[in-house]
Structure formats: structure tokens, C-alpha cells
Structure 1
């Protein structure tokens, strides 16, 4: 796949193109589908003997994929993130993660990106569930470019991998190649006063926009793209805790259990610092809308990121931190 192709479409569509490219070169790769739409006409049409559609049966999807992995194959199990982490959580934990099998679970519609389907399809707690699973690597690409890197890298990783994707097209974060490494955060912008740590396409975009707004106020903000949630790049987090006044986390997820929770756990243990978490306060939203609209309703906005960062670098906060 050439560089120009990576710029088009959503992370979900890029994943599907890259998966087919990889499967052409590696006969171990099998596509296991839960009737998600699109894969039958692409992967299934070209490689029908390595395409299995189990229907809307997510528990079976993961158990079958575990069986395939136990024979030395590399199954990519496809479903929505809400269903993989709730409906099939037992199979994900017992059959795949605990067994350490090389299943790649690809959960599209992560977070609130299935907002148009309503709350039954929202996945605001998916990362919290995934972080509790043993042996599981959890990847959240920031755009189509990083999606291609993550999918390719996943084939070489030991054990199970979860790749969390969105649905609709999102802006590019990367406009040139870079050395993607699983478990290592990417510093998108340098800064020495406050750190913004984000994960996922729209949150990373919001963090970058907030950095621009902060710079206009004379505040130097570091921006980290945390594309790997587990294992977390604790070294990058602790550097931020020690070198800046505080951290603002930004994610399409609940404030509890996701990126913000992981960052708080890391700094609390080794380098305590103020952490402001930008995430949804409630696990249930009755509203229907696109991801951007629902993020705004949940209070995950550029304006709130800027406000949180300004508070962290304020003299009042610094004095309080010194007293503690």
C-alpha cells in the first residue's frame, strides 16, 4: 500500500485494506467476522477459504478464534468494541487472554463513535474492561496512518492483541512516516509547562488544537499520543509528571478506568502530580449523534482541555502543590 492510500477513509476502512494486504503475503492470517459488513465483499471475495462469518454471535467469534490460534493460525476477529468487551467479555478473558493465544480482536466503533446507533452500541468503558485482561496488548491508533502501522505490528506481537478503531473518517495526525513502536508514546509537540496526553483520533486532534490555543496564551504544552494503552508507556508519563506542572488526559471514554485511570495509577506510584481527566462522567448517554457531538455533550472539548491546563500552570496550583 502506498502512502497516499493511507490518507483516505476511516481507521476501520484502512484496517480492512491493510489486513487483506497482509493476508495475501501470510497464509496464517484468517479473517473471522461477526457480520460487521464490508469484509465479506473484500477479504471474503478474494480469500474465501480464509474468511469465516459466524454471524451476530460475538462469544462464538472469540472462542472460535481462540481455537484457530491454538493451531498456529493468526485470526483477526472482527466485531464492535461494545460487543467484544461486554457481550463476549467472558470468552475474551478465558478463551483468548488467559490462554495467551495470538488472536487479534479488532473492535470498531470504539468509545462513542457508534453514537448514531444509540447507547446500546456505545462503548464508553471498553478500555477499562480491556486493561483488566491478562496478557492483552491494547492499541488505539490516532489516524489511518497509525492504523496501518498498528495492524502490521500486531502480526509480530506475541499473545492476544486488541485494536480499537472508530467508524467515520477522521483528520490526519501524521503526514509523514515515523517509527511506530508498540508501547511507546509519540511526542507530537514539545512543551515544558503542562502535558496533554491523548488517545484515539478525535481526542488527539482536540489535544493538538488545545496546544495551539495554549500557545497563544504563552503556555508551553507537551502533547503525547498514547496509542498503546496496555502496556502503558509509563516512562513517558513519569517524565511528564516530573518535568511539567501537571497532566491533562483526553479520551473518548469514561473518566474512570481508561487512559486517565492508567496515568493516575502510574504517577501516584512513582511521581505524584496533578492530573485532570477529560472523559465522560456517565456510562450511559441517551443522546444519538455523531462522535464529535457526543464528545461535546460529555464535556470533552478543546475549551475544557485549555481551561484544565491553565489551572494546572496557575500560581495558585503551584503553591498548593508545594504545600502538599
Structure 2
């Protein structure tokens, strides 16, 4: 198992060996390994120091001069400390900057509550021109690195702290704005997940099958723009949706899905994620269980929405 943050960073370095069309800015952290760019290509790497607002300002300045820029640091800093800079200097002028945020969600519990980015998607979703993508495993992270390199415009790549199990094989392809149906046992309920929670969604689908409930599992790797067709198709087929995310219930995947469904196809929905609380210290699995984000809780939520159909 590998952490998506390191796989993404390594792949960007591999891309750099054959493509000289981008530069990297970092905040003097070891967030994703992309910081090693300075060892390989010193003239294409800029370490700004622990000054994240300056990091975004420098990235914006480089992008204004037609550079493609990857700006990377911990998500809690790049989305909150740099909120104004990302909004006004990257999104507003629609500059070609990929913001790489690592250490997201409750996986950061062992690093301390202040470093847990549980609001980052909500912040970035609110900015016009911003696109948001998130890999579920190492294979997806590698594919998303290539997509990020080819993308033009403001982009937020959300990466995870801890190693995650492999879900996809090398046949996986990432298409921006399109969800992936990972598993389809049937049409009793649809589990829509993003990022690190996908494995829990798959485990829950297996447990539900043993109980006679047939679930489909969808990986929403692009959080903005949302794949509305995939959500609506799942809603029409199942009339029962469970969203699963390692992010606040306010402003993330669940909010995007429920807003869409309330307007275009109301159905039974249950959202699983972090309640209206700050992150806290502790092992991630303990925190997932505390906030009812573990597999048994996903199974229970699915049973509830299925029961409402009867």
C-alpha cells in the first residue's frame, strides 16, 4: 500500500523528465515528494519556505507569465491560510495553477487536530473556475497526476496522508468530470464515495450483499464539476443513495449530491461524513468509528434508506 500523496508526487517527477513545460513551488514541507524536483531540475523548483500565502502569490506570478505551476503543501494551509490568494490571484484571473493539498480529512488525526483539513472541499467548491479531483488509491493517483499535468486552469488535487489499499488495476483510466462505477451488485442502493473512503464503501457493499441488499458503488473522483449524469442515473435506478466522504458534511460530496437531487430527482438519501465539528487527535480508524464513518455505519445507513422505499 502507498499513500496517494507520494504516488502523485513521484509521478509528477517522472513526467518532469520528459516534459519541461511546468514548474513546482513548495512550502518547505515533505508533503508529497514533489519537493525533490529541486534535486532533479533546480531551475524549475522554488521553495518558498513556511509562508503559504507567499507560495500562492509566487505561483500566481509565474502562471501570469505563462508557466504551468504545481503549488503543494498541507491542505489545511493552502485552502484556509491562502483562501484569499487562491480566490483572487488564481481563480479570478483563471490562471494555470494546480494546487496540491495533502493530509486531508480524519487521517491526519495522529498529526493533531489543527492540521486536519476537513473543510477544504467546501472552500474550494465555492470558488468559480476551480476544479477539484481526488484519487481513491495509488493507481488513481498516478492517473490523476497525468490529468493534472494536461489540465489548464485552476485545479485542486486533494491527497491523503496514509497508505491506502489498491482498488484499481493498471487498466484504470481517469476522465475528468466522470465518475467510475466500481462495483454493481444490483439496484437496491447506490453508495457514492470519493477518495480514501472508497474501500469502506466496497466493504460495505459486500456486507450488504450478505444481508440480501444489492448495492452499486460509484467513485466520484471529480468533486467539481460533479458528474450529474452518474448521480441521476443511480437515483433513478435505486431511489436510495448513500454518500460517503472523509470531509465535513457541510459543503462536500454529500452537499453537492443532495443539492442536485433536490432539484432534479428527489429520492431517499443519507450522507456519511464528518459532522459539524473540528478534527481531533487520534488514530483515523477510531475517529471514523466515532463519527459513524466506518463500514458498519455505512451498512446501517444503507439499510435505513432501503427501508424507506418499502
Classify 1:11/1:313 alpha carbon distance in 2 versus 1 (closer, same or farther; 3 Å).
same
- 2:188 corresponds to which of 193, 198, 209: 193
1:289 pairs, out of 273, 282, 288, with: 282
Q: For the Cα contact (< 8 Å) 1:195–1:244, is it kept in 2?
A: yes
Contact 1:33 1:39 in 2 (8 A): no
SS of the equivalent of 1:134 reads coil
1:34 pairs with 2:27: yes
Superimposed CA distance per residue, residues 132-172 of structure 1 (whole angstroms, 9 cap, x where no aligned partner): 01111100100111011111011222211110001121101
Q: Is the contact between residue 125 and residue 283 of structure 1 (CA under 8 Å) also seen in structure 2?
A: no
CA distance in 1 between counterparts of 2:229 and 2:147 reads 21
Q: For each residue in 1:191-232, what CA deviation from the matched residue of structure 2 results, as whole angstroms up to 9, or x when unmatched?
A: 21100000112x101100000000001111010000000010
Find 2:53's aligned residue among 51, 59, 63. Answer: 59
SS in 2 for 1:18: helix
What are the ranges of 5 or more consecutive residues in structure 1 without an aligned counterpart? 1-7, 320-324
Is 2:243 aligned against 1:252? no
The separation in 2 between residues aligned to 1:127 and 1:40, in whole angstroms, is: 22
**Are 1:318 and 2:309 counterparts?**
yes
Q: Which of 62, 76, 87 is the matching residue for 2:81?
A: 87
Counterparts in 2 of 1:310 and 1:39: CA distance versus 1, 3 Å = closer
Q: What residue number does 1:238 align with?
A: 232
Say whether the 8 Å CA contact 2:109–2:279 is kept in structure 1. no
Equivalent residues of 1:28, 1:72 under 8 A apart: no
1:145 is aligned to 2:136: no
Query: How many angstroms does 1:40 deviate by?
Result: 7.6
Question: Aligned partners of 2:34 and 2:6: how far apart in 1?
Answer: 13
Give the Cα separation in 2 of the matches to 1:290 and 1:183. Answer: 32
Moved >6 Å (runs of 4+) = none
Aligned match of 2:207:
213
The residue aligned with 1:78 is 72
> 1:183 Cα deviation (Å)?
0.6
Deviation at 1:184, TM superposition (A): 0.3
Calculate the TM-score normalised by the size of structure 1.
0.92
- Structure 2, unmatched stretches of 5+, are none
- The number of aligned residues is 308
How far apart, in 1, do the equivalents of 2:81 and 2:20 lie? Answer: 30
Structure 2: how far apart are the matches of 1:223 and 1:9?
A: 22
Is it true that 1:24 corresponds to 2:17 in the alignment? yes
Judge conservation of contact 2:10–2:33 (CA < 8 Å) in 1. no
